[in-house]
A and B are shown apart, each in its own frame.
Chain A
Amino acid sequence: MNVLICIDDTDNLESRGTGELATIMAKEIERRSWGRCDFVTRHQLLIHPDVPYTSHNSSMCFAADLDLANLDAVIAYASDFLRDESAVGSDPGLCVSVIDQLADPEAIIAYGRLAKREVLNKKMAYDLAAQLDMHLSEHGGTGQGVVGALAGIGLRLSGNDGRMKGWLRIETKNGLASVGDIMAQAPLGGVRTMAGELLAATEMVEVDNKPKAVLLDGQIYLMVSPIDNGGAVHWRTTPRSQLKKF
């Protein structure tokens, strides 16, 4: 069964990031043979004076393919892990949702989008999680992280929000690779222009040394921007500074 796992508000200015904790959790789930885990995505939430956050406000989400019999064990492990590994002063929250059994996906997607625009609170989060039969729990501090953990599930489920944690490892020749070669090296939906067009497999791309990918239409895409220098290569991977909107 397909499950989304999201955590939020686990760090402080000195600690490991929430993304690293999500990565550790995903690896441990695989090590214990509970299931297979997918990439981690980062989801930006509202920046507002009434929202408590350390330095940014983002949650980290990953998908897992689990046997139903392992679900309780995964939730127990993730809960203990957050309790033990979250930073002093943080307010960690955990959300786990069985996507195959979700009665009203649009409701959680709408909540996720709302969390990018409005100040939400724990009661709203717990009420919606209960209504949709999703696991939502807090593991220290004020537990405020449940708001973002629930939102991250909705945003990941929307398929149109967030950047992949880390970067793609793409081998190139003199910094260039064809779209076909890029696709052969990374599990991408495609190589896509910022205007939304997919590039053909034969198109050549100038590849940055740490190219980031984003979640669009339910898949991970490497984004490219036009090069206007009169040369034979017309595309380069979109710089990080232009991916902020994802």
Chain B
Amino acid sequence: MWLKDSEGKKAFRHGHVAFNQASQAAQVCGSFRPDVEEEWVADEERSCYNCRLRRWTAESFDCLLPA
């Protein structure tokens, strides 16, 4: 699900439109925090795509939770 660099930064490996995977990842995350509504892009509230701690990148998003 994640690509980790040497500094422990986590990048979601499935891109911008992998809604099932983003939902699954959020289901098992104890730190999920919904972003403000206007920034949601997934239909299910509990999705990494809707999380305040995701930082969009050109290819996907990084998870901002400390490693």
Contacts and interface: CB of A to CB of B under 8 A. Distances in A.
A17 B37 CA distance: 9
A196 to B, nearest CB: 22
B23 to A, nearest CB: 10
Interface string B32-67: 000111111111000000001111111000001000
A55 B55 contact: yes
B38 A48 contact: no
Interface string A150-164: 000000000000010
B56 A47 contact: yes
Interface stretch (A73-81, A199-207, A236-244): A236-244
A147 B16 CA distance: 25
A163 B23 CA distance: 22
Contacts, number: 57
Nearest to A41: B38
Contact of A47 (B17, B35, B38, B57): B57
Contacts of A27: none
Main SS of chain B's interface residues? loop
A13 interface: yes
A99 to B, nearest CB: 23
Contacts of A54: 55
Contact of B38 (A17, A55, A239): A17
Contact of A240 (B17, B35, B43, B54): B43
Interface in A206-246: 239-241, 244
Given A13-B52, A47-B57, A54-B55, A241 B19 contact: yes
Interface of A: 13, 16-17, 19-20, 42, 47-49, 53-58, 60, 163, 165-167, 239-241, 244
Given A55-B53, A240-B42, 5 more contacts: A16-B36, A17-B39, A55-B54, A55-B55, A244-B16
Interface of B: 16-17, 19, 35-43, 52-58, 64
22 contacts: A13-B64, A17-B39, A19-B36, A19-B37, A19-B38, A42-B39, A48-B58, A49-B57, A55-B39, A55-B52, A55-B54, A55-B64, A56-B39, A57-B56, A58-B38, A167-B37, A240-B40, A240-B41, A240-B43, A241-B17, A241-B42, A244-B41
